[in-house]
Structure formats: C-alpha cells, structure tokens
Copies of this chain bind each other. A is one copy, B any other.
Amino acid sequence: MTDKQKASEAARERLRAVGLRPTRQRLALAKLLFAGPHRHVSAEQLHGEALRKKVRVSLATVYNTLHQFTEAGILRELVIDPGRSYFDTNVTHHHHFFFEGSTRLRDIPGEGVEVKRLPAAPEGTEVARVDVIIRLKDSPKRRKRSS
C-alpha cells in the first residue's frame, strides 16, 4: 500500500472514530492536518494549502470543519494572537512558545513545565484547561555599555 493510501485510510478512520461523515472535503482537510508532524494552523492557512493542492473547498467549510474537529477532540483551539485563532493538531498536554510579532508557535512538552500551587477553581466551576503561553521577543544582539 502506498503512503498516500495509508494517509487516506488513516483520515477515513479518524473521521469514523469521531462520528463525522467522510466527505471529500473533510478527508482532504484531515489529510493535510494529520499526515505529517503536529502543526498549528489558522483557517486561512489551511484553506490556502487546500487550494494549492487543488482540493476545492470553501473557507466556510474550513471553518466548520476546524470547529467540528475541535469539538470532537482531535484539534485544540489556541487563542494567542489578537484577531486570529490557531488550531493545534497536538491535543496532548503541552504548552507553547509564541514568537511575538510573528505567527510562529512552538510546542513545549507537557512534562517540560510544571504549574504549581494552582488555587482551587471557584465554587461551582472546574478547570477545563490550563494554558501556559511563553511570549518571546528577539533578544538584543548586545547592549551598548551605557555612556
């Protein structure tokens, strides 16, 4: 079996597992998202990729699909940048480096950070998720000695 076929199988199986019909669009998007290593994509980015690969799919469907995948638990939505959401194919416990001024995100393994002494969730609520975002800026090459 070719790699392409394997990716198709995997995508089909993934949709079946979460109870979503394996439509042409969803299969194509699932392949783009889950074929290679983990990634962080915006809706526009993914839509662009699909079009480049000659997969005809509307932007509305990309949004619908990303939200369906998120609800199904095979994607995770990240809010990090004002005015744009990212979707993360890595739904295991982990945190993020964010390079300010860019759109780049890098994973930090879940064991790589410990969040200690979390206060209890307020009465009537429970913790849905803990997000740690480490915002990075370029470090100045070298500080001039002050005059």
Contacts and interface: CB of A to CB of B under 8 A. Distances in A.
Given A79-B81, A131-B132, A134-B130, A139 B117 contact: no
A118 interface: yes
A135 to B, nearest CB: 5
Contacts of A132: 115, 130-132
Interface centre among A80, A106, A108, A113 (most CB of B within 10 A): A113
A101 to B, nearest CB: 10
A51 to B, nearest CB: 24
Contact of A134 (B99, B127, B135): B127
Closest 4 CB pairs of A and B: A114-B116, A125-B136, A126-B139, A128-B137
14 contacts: A79-B79, A108-B119, A112-B117, A113-B115, A114-B114, A114-B115, A125-B136, A126-B136, A127-B136, A130-B132, A130-B135, A131-B131, A131-B132, A132-B132
Interface of A: 77, 79-83, 85, 97, 99-100, 106, 108, 112-119, 121-122, 124-139
Given A77-B82, A79-B82, A129-B134, 5 more contacts: A114-B114, A114-B116, A115-B115, A118-B134, A131-B132
